[in-house]
């Protein structure tokens, strides 16, 4: 049986750090699950990493459902959380509930949405119908059209107080965990000490209750943005390009395919064929 929302909540009490990976496809999600990652997040960053958009704004519910279905076929162990994409929950509580239901039917155990106190009512409405919600405060990529890009949040006293207040209000509204994206590490620590549910940091320092990274960032295969928090455990792009160059050169030289890569007829059948067609 895979991990439950309650298992993740309990990890904070047991002082165990929660490992979260954002992934979108069957193949990589299978490997994440095999590695024992606690939570697989089907993030709306899929729009950038899988579909090549500039930001997460264009991502649709249909796309999120497709990625969620793919990851759900891969997981045996992890909890599966899916992002509600831009405009799938902001316009009305009815939208939020309907679209959360779609992600659950696609295989998610919980949904994640961006926003602090202004989302409190929406969060409790989704939780009330029986769908667990992960919060997401700090940098909110779905609202960066209003600001100047992907910047650190909570560096001043007043923005810090707002973030702490947001965390408390969404905890009160019923989230089981809160993603803290690009929050100054001091504020992330205060929030983590204040709320009783696990905080999951990305670019928010070491005192969060867990960490999240995008799998393609971790493997070093997404080169378009290189945020300082995205530690590269491999430089897979280099290896992939090298392998593809080797393949191209093997095709051109005739080194590939070799005998081990092809299939033969039954020799008797080949003989009969030759006789019949006279070759």
Ligand X SMILES: Nc1nc(=O)c2c([nH]1)NC[C@@H]1CN(c3ccc(C(=O)N[C@@H](CCC(=O)O)C(=O)O)cc3)CN21
Ligand Y SMILES: CC(C)C(=O)C(=O)O
Decide if 214 contacts 56 (C-beta within 8 A).
Answer: no
Q: Name which of ligand X, ligand Y, Mg ion, none residue 222 binds, using a CB cut-off of 5 to 8 Å depending on partner kind.
A: ligand X
Q: Find the binder of ligand X among 56, 100, 122, 140 (CB under 6 A).
A: 56
Q: Name which of Mg ion, ligand Y, ligand X, none residue 230 binds, using a CB cut-off of 5 to 8 Å depending on partner kind.
A: ligand X
Strand, helix or coil for residue 203: coil
Residue 226 marked in a binding site: no
CB of residue 177 to Mg ion, shortest distance in Å: 14
Q: Which residue, 42, 105, 51, is CA-closest to 74?
A: 42
Strand, helix or coil for residue 16: coil
Residue 181 interacts with Mg ion (CB under 5 A): yes or no: no
Q: Which residue, 77, 140, 88, is CA-closest to 111?
A: 88
Q: Which residue, 218, 233, 151, 145, is CA-closest to 184?
A: 151
CB of residue 202 to ligand X, shortest distance in Å: 6
Residue 114 marked in a binding site: yes
Cβ atoms within 10 A of the Cβ of 251, count? 11
> 199: part of which helix (H) or strand (E)?
strand 199-202
Q: Restricting to residues 29-48, name those near ligand X by CB under 6 A.
A: 45, 48
43 vs 107, beta carbon nearer ligand X: 43
62 vs 250, beta carbon nearer ligand Y: 62
Please pick, among 94, 181, 186, 275, the residue that the annotation labels catalytic: 181
HSE of 52 in the Cβ direction (CA atoms, 13 Å)?
0
Residue numbers at the binding site for ligand Y (CB under 6 A): 22, 41, 43-45, 83, 136, 179, 181, 202, 212, 214
CA dist., res. 114 & res. 132, Å (int): 14
Q: Strand 110-112 relative to strand 133-138: parallel, antiparallel, unpaired?
A: parallel
Q: Restricting to residues 83-112, name those near Mg ion by CB under 5 A.
A: 83
- What does the binding site for ligand X look like in residue numbers (CB under 6 A)? 45, 48-49, 56, 141, 150-152, 182, 214, 217, 222, 225, 227-230
- What does the binding site for Mg ion look like in residue numbers (CB under 5 A)? 43-44, 83
Residues belonging to the active site: 181
Q: Binding-site residues for Mg(2+), please?
A: 44, 83, 114
Q: Binding-site residues, please?
A: 44-45, 83, 112, 114
């Amino acid at each position: 049986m895979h991990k439950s929302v309650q298992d993740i909540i309990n990890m904070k009490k047991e002082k165990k750090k929660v490992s979260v990976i954002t992934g979108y496809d069957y193949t990589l999600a299978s490997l994440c699950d095999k590695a024992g990652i606690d939570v697989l997040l089907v993030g709306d960053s899929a729009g950038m990493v899988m579909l090549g958009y500039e930001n997460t704004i264009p991502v649709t519910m249909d796309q999120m459902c497709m990625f969620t279905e793919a990851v759900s076929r891969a997981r045996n162990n992890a909890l599966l959380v899916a992002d509600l994409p831009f405009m799938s929950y902001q316009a009305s509580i009815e939208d939020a509930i309907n679209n959360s239901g779609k992600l659950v039917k696609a295989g998610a155990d919980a949904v994640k949405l961006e926003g602090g106190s202004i989302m409190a009512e929406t969060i409790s409405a989704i939780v009330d119908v029986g769908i667990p919600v992960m919060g997401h405060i700090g940098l909110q990529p779905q609202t960066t059209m209003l600001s100047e890009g992907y910047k650190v949040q909570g560096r001043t006293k007043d923005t810090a107080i707002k973030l702490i207040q947001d965390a408390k209000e969404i905890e009160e509204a019923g989230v089981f965990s809160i993603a803290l994206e690009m929050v100054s590490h001091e504020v992330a620590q205060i929030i983590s000490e204040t709320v009783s549910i696990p905080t999951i940091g990305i670019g928010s320092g070491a005192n969060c209750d867990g960490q999240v990274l995008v799998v393609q960032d971790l493997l070093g295969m997404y080169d378009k943005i290189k945020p300082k928090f995205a530690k590269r455990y491999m430089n897979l792009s280099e290896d992939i390009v090298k392998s593809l160059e080797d393949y191209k050169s093997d095709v051109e030289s005739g080194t590939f395919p070799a005998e081990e890569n092809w299939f033969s007829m039954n020799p008797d059948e080949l003989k009969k064929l030759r006789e019949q067609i006279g070759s």
